[in-house]
Structure 1
Amino acid sequence: MTQIHSEMAVKHVQTLADGNPCILAGDFNIKPVDPMYTLLTTGAMEKDAATDVGPAYPVPKWGMEWEPTIQPMISAYAQALGKEPAFTNHARVHENEPFIDTLDYIFCSDQWKVDGVLELPAEQDESKGPFPNLEHNEASDHVLIAADLSLGS
C-alpha cells in the first residue's frame, strides 16, 4: 500500500505541474533500497514489489489491481553524487540501536539540471548524532539537505 501512496503523491505533483518543471522534497521514510524509491526514480515497480505488502499490510480481500502511471523523478543527490548520501537521518529511541540511513530526498522532474548539492557528513563521521542534539543546535533527527537547481535548456 505504501507504493500506492508514494505514487499518488508524485502523481498529484505532476498533475498540478501540468508538464511544467516540478520538485517534490522531504522526509519520505523510504530507503534507497526500498521498492518505493525504485518506483519514484524509474516510474515502475520491481517485479513482485506491487504485491509485496509485508506482514503489517495484509493483501486486500478483493485483490489489488494497480499499475503506476507516473513519470520518473530524478533524485538531486543521486544525480550530483552518483549515489544517495550515506545518511540523512540519525536517530536513537531510548536504549535501541541508533537508526542511521537515508530517508530524505529532493526529487525533480527531468527539466531540472542539478548544479550541486549541500555536502553532508560522511557515514563514518555520523556528524554529532544521534539527533536531536541540542548541544550542537540540532533540533531535528534529520540533517539539512539542499540542492542548487537550474532549468535545463
Structure 2
Amino acid sequence: MAVRIVSYNILVPIYAEQVDYYDKCDPKYLKTDYRWNLIQNQFEREITKYENTVVCIQELCLSLLPKLEIFFRRMNYSLFHNLYGGEWNDYMGVGIAIPLSMQLDDISFVKIGDYIRSVCKKWENRMDQNQDVSCENTEEVPDPWEAAMDRSNTLICMKVTINKRPLCIGTYHMPCMYKYPDIMAIHASIVKDLVFKYASGCNVILAGDFNFEPTTACYSELTKTGFPAGSFPKSKVYEVSYWPNTEQILKSAYREKNGSEPAYTNYSCTFDQPVYCETLDYIFFAGQMTVDDVLNLPDRPSGRAYPDETNPSDHLLIAASFRF
C-alpha cells in the first residue's frame, strides 16, 4: 500500500502582492491569478500521477479558499482547513485535502497556544523576579512559555484508513520566531508529542513549514533520541506540567531517501533583508513505513528571488511517497 504526501506553503496573496516588499521579483509574477494557475497545476500533477495523494497546505487564506475549494471539488477531494490568522494576513491558516475515496476516521484541530496555556499554572510568588529580568533588555522575551501560548497556530491531524491500514497525517506551520529559539522549541516538541498521542500507535506523517533549518536544535529535538535533555526551556512565570517525550522521534523523508535534506526549500530576497536560501519545509514520519521516492528539488535557485515565472511561492512544493 502506498500514500503520497504533498506539502506546500503557497504564500498568501496579501504578502505576495506587496511589490515594494518583494522588490527583486517581477511584479507580473506576484499577481494572484498568475500564481494560482501554477499552484493548481503543481497540485494536479501530484494528484493525477500518484495514488492516495494527500495535500498539506500552509499559508492557506480567505481570499484563496474559494479557489482551493473549487479545485479540490473538481479533483474529487475534500479540503479540511483552519484559518487562525487575522485581517492583516488574510486570516492565514493551514489545510489538508484528501481524496473522497479515502476513508476518513477522525480529525482534530488543536491550537497549540491553547494547549500550552492548559499545561501552565502561574507561580504566585515569582512575578517580581520575572519583571526584573524583562526590564534588563526590552528586546528579550520575558518568558518563552508566555510568548509561546500567545501564538494562534493550529495543528490539523486526521486518521485515515487505506486498504485497512490506519494512518495519522498532520500538518503545521511553525511560528516564524527564529530570533527566539526557545519559543519554537516549545511548539516543535509539543506538536510532535501531540501527533504521537493522537496517532495512538499507528503510523505517523507530519508535514509542513517548520521555519527551522536542519542544523538547528529544533530539528534535533524532533529527530534525535534523548534530545534536549536538560536544555528544554523553563519558565520563571509558570509551573509547567509538560516535559517532552525524548524517546518518540521522527524521521525526515528526504533525509531517509537521499541521505540529506534538500539544498533549500525557501528562497526569498525582500527589500529589508538579505537573500535567504535554506531548507524550512519537511515531511516527517514514524512507524512501519519506507520512503519509496521523493520529489526531486533543484540544487540551486534560479533568478534573483521567488516568486518568479515558474515558482509561484517563496517556498518549494515538497512531496514523498511512502509504502507500508
Question: TM-score of the superposition, structure 2-length normalised?
Answer: 0.40
Partners of 1:38 and 1:44 within 8 A in 2: no
Larger Rg: 2
Amino acid across the alignment from 2:318? I
**What are the Cα deviations for residues 1-38 of structure 1, in whole angstroms up to 9, with x where unaligned?**
32121111111111111100110001000100111100
Residue segments in structure 1 that go unaligned for 5+ positions in a row: 52-58
Identify, as 1 or 2, the structure richer in strand: 2
Q: 2:227 aligns with which of 29, 35, 45?
A: 45
- How far apart, in 2, do the equivalents of 1:46 and 1:36 lie? 9
Verify: 1:21 aligned to 2:203, yes or no: yes
Larger deviation, residues 36-45 vs 83-92: 36-45
Distance 1:49 1:140, change over 3 A: farther
What residue is the counterpart of 1:139 in the other structure?
312
Identify, as 1 or 2, the structure richer in helix: 2
Larger deviation, residues 40-49 vs 2-11: 40-49
Verify: 1:126 aligned to 2:301, yes or no: yes
Partners of 2:292 and 2:320 within 8 A in 1: yes
- How far apart, in 1, do the equivalents of 2:280 and 2:201 lie? 27
Deviation >3 Å, runs of 4+: 46-49, 62-67
What residue is the counterpart of 2:216 in the other structure?
34
Amino acid across the alignment from 1:82? G
Verify: 1:83 aligned to 2:265, yes or no: no
Partners of 1:31 and 1:102 within 8 A in 2: yes
**What are the Cα deviations for residues 86-136 of structure 1, in whole angstroms up to 9, with x where unaligned?**
1000011115321000000000013220111111100xx313452112x22
Distance 1:111 1:86, change over 3 A: same
Question: TM-score of the superposition, structure 1-length normalised?
Answer: 0.81
Q: 1:93 aligns with which of 242, 247, 270?
A: 270
Residue segments in structure 2 that go unaligned for 5+ positions in a row: 1-182
Q: Percent identity?
A: 36
Partners of 1:92 and 1:98 within 8 A in 2: yes
CA RMSD of aligned residues (A): 2.1
Aligned residue pairs: how many?
Answer: 140
